[in-house]
Amino acid sequence: MTEEPLHIRLLNLMSAIRAMSPFGALTADEEQLLRSLLVRWHEPRDLSVGEVMRDMTEVSEATAYRRIMSLRDKGLITLRAHQSDKRVKLIDPAPLALEYSEHVGAALEELMEQRPNR
């Protein structure tokens, strides 16, 4: 029997993470947005709702806003007011988003451990 290719194992691990409660409640679009936010939170600056909405060029502003609010309602992000302009809302990861990130990291580590030496 041949070994599964690395990318298939990665997809299987990602599917397993997605099946975990509450991550299984995410739509594909919400999961994509969450992954994008996780990457951007590593930048040393605040991330505003308006900025994220502007960057989501493939959907309307209303749809972008609904996706952000859905992540908030599912406990994956929190919103806080900007210190100098209370009208601006900033997006922060909630503990559940950090848990999701940890699961992805652990899956990648597992995948790399299974990788045959070349």
Residue 85 lies in a domain: yes
Residue 117 lies in a domain: no
Q: pTM for this structure?
A: 0.81
Q: Number of structural domains, the chain?
A: 1
Mean of pLDDT values over 56-82? 96
Range of the domain at 64: 6-112
For position 25, what pLDDT does the model report?
Answer: 85
Residue 11 lies in a domain: yes
Q: Output the CA–CA distances (angstroms, integers) from residue 30 to 67, 102, 113, in the order listed.
A: 6, 18, 29
Contacts of 13 (CB under 8 A, 6+ apart): 107, 108, 110, 111
Residue 63 lies in a domain: yes
Helix (H) or strand (E) holding 29: helix 28-40
User: What pLDDT, in 10s, does the model give residues 9-61?
Assistant: 878 877 877 777 677 788 989 999 999 999 999 998 999 999 999 999 999 99
Residue 118 lies in a domain: no
Residue 53 belongs to domain with CATH number: 1.10.10.10
Alpha carbons 47 and 38: distance in angstroms, whole number: 11
